[in-house]
Amino acid sequence: MRLSGITPSGHPHLGNHLGAIRRWASDGGPDDLYFVSDLHAMTTSHDPARLRARTSEALAVLVASGIPAERVFVQSDLARQLGALTWVLECTCSFGEAARMIQFKEKGSGRAGVRLSLLTYPVLMAADILLQGAAEVPVGEDQNQHVELARALARRFNGSYGEVFAVPRAVLPPTGARVRDLADPARKMSKSARDAAGVVFVLDEPDLIRRKVRRAVTDASTDVVYAPGERPGVANLLEILAGCRGGRPADLAAEFASYGAVKEAVAEAVIETLRPVRERTVALLADAGELARVRRDGAARAAERGEQRLSSALRLIGAGG
């Protein structure tokens, strides 16, 4: 069973869709679970109302992308279980282990006012994984270390107090699945990019998508070749086209005589790829009752799945009735 999440730190974008969500919808096994990790979006300064709205949007996008509603849930709906398990795991984790996490060193260590949760969120992530008994966690390189921590904590708990947790392992996504920022191809397309000009959001209208793609950074050459090292902007466009249409970027390059033609083809392919997801997302967001039902049912199933494991862990560590 696999567990994957999306953090509502911004609006879901084309990179999230092509690199992750679309695959979750098409390749997911019957037991796999997908969640909106809203608690993880609070480790840096955040706006509560905006977070709530983005959580609903991310949940709607997951379902609109074709993930069966019975396999999605929102992390904070399990806050009581996750809070308890996080504490148990924090009592299994050393301070040094948490402080060694590269993401903490990069984003928080030594900075004034840094939230304690930025240090401890990998333990919450371990709780997400271990509560559901996930065997595999698909993550990018940057999250690999956190899955290693979850493995270490599961093993240590099982060895010290009794076998409760499945020991998870990280599965890395296929290479080349990274979509880059259209305005700055040196960076990956990202929800929290400072400038949205290079980020195509799932809910962008077709005209806006066209404008963003037309303004994509390329280079001064005129012939179209696929050369990620030397021409990252055009390579990104060809990879996006391949992601939407199928085929190999290098073969697609041969179809075009100019960058303008590539951009027109990319814009249309992206618009058609995102259109059904956008339309279904908008419809779901307008149907508050349906979205609330999906959320409630998802929470009930995920909570039921984790309850036994949590009460065993509490009992074994010497707590709970």
Q: Do 4 and 34 contact (CB within 8 A), yes or no?
A: yes
Give the β-pairing of 169-171 and 136-138: parallel
105 is catalytic: no
Q: Which is nearer to ligand AQP, 20 or 224 (CB)?
A: 20
d(CA 78, CA 302) in angstroms, rounded, equals: 8
Q: Which is nearer to ligand AQP, 88 or 249 (CB)?
A: 249
Go through 115-136 and write b for each residue having 16 or more CB atoms within 10 A of its CB, e for each that does not.
eeebbbbbbbbbbbbbbbbbeb
Q: Output the smallest distance, CB 2 to ligand AQP, in A.
A: 11
Task: Using CB under 6 A, count the residues that bind ligand AQP.
Answer: 18
Q: Output the smallest distance, CB 215 to ligand AQP, in A.
A: 18
Token pair of 162 as six digits: 């009794």
Computed over its alpha carbons, how large is the radius of gyration of the chain? 21
Q: Which is nearer to ligand AQP, 199 or 234 (CB)?
A: 199
Catalytic residue among 105, 188, 212, 263: 188
190 near ligand AQP, rule: CB under 6 A: yes
Question: In a 3-state reduction of DSSP, which class is residue 105?
Answer: helix
Q: Find where tokens 């992530």 sit.
A: 125
212 is catalytic: no
Q: Do 277 and 65 contact (CB within 8 A), yes or no?
A: yes
Shortest CA distance to 56 belongs to which of 22, 117, 12? 12
CB atoms under 10 Å from CB of 43, counted, come to: 22
Catalytic residue among 105, 191, 212, 263: 191
Of the candidate residues 46, 178, 280, 301, the single one contacting ligand AQP (CB under 6 A): 178
For residues 126 to 165, the per-residue mask of contacts with ligand AQP, x marking binding by CB under 6 A and - elsewhere, is --------------x-------------------------
* Cα dihedral value 139, 144, 147, 153, nearest 10: 180
Q: Which is nearer to ligand AQP, 188 or 280 (CB)?
A: 188
Measured from each CB, the residue nearest to ligand AQP is 19
Residue type, 235: A
Q: Which is nearer to ligand AQP, 198 or 310 (CB)?
A: 198
107 is catalytic: yes
202 near ligand AQP, rule: CB under 6 A: no
Give the β-pairing of 3-6 and 33-36: parallel
Query: Where in 7-26 is the site for ligand AQP (CB under 6 A)?
Result: 7, 9-10, 15-16, 19-20
188 near ligand AQP, rule: CB under 6 A: yes
Q: Output the smallest distance, CB 199 to ligand AQP, in A.
A: 9
Q: Output the smallest distance, CB 275 to ligand AQP, in A.
A: 20
Q: Output the smallest distance, CB 311 to ligand AQP, in A.
A: 29
Residues 6+ apart with CB under 8 A from 82: 39, 75, 124, 127, 128, 131
Segment contacting ligand AQP by CB under 6 A, of 109-117, 182-190, 217-225, 288-296: 182-190
Shortest CA distance to 313 belongs to which of 167, 126, 154? 154
Which residues are the active-site residues?
Answer: 107, 188, 191
List residues near ligand AQP by CB under 6 A. Answer: 5-7, 9-10, 15-16, 19-20, 140, 177-179, 188-192
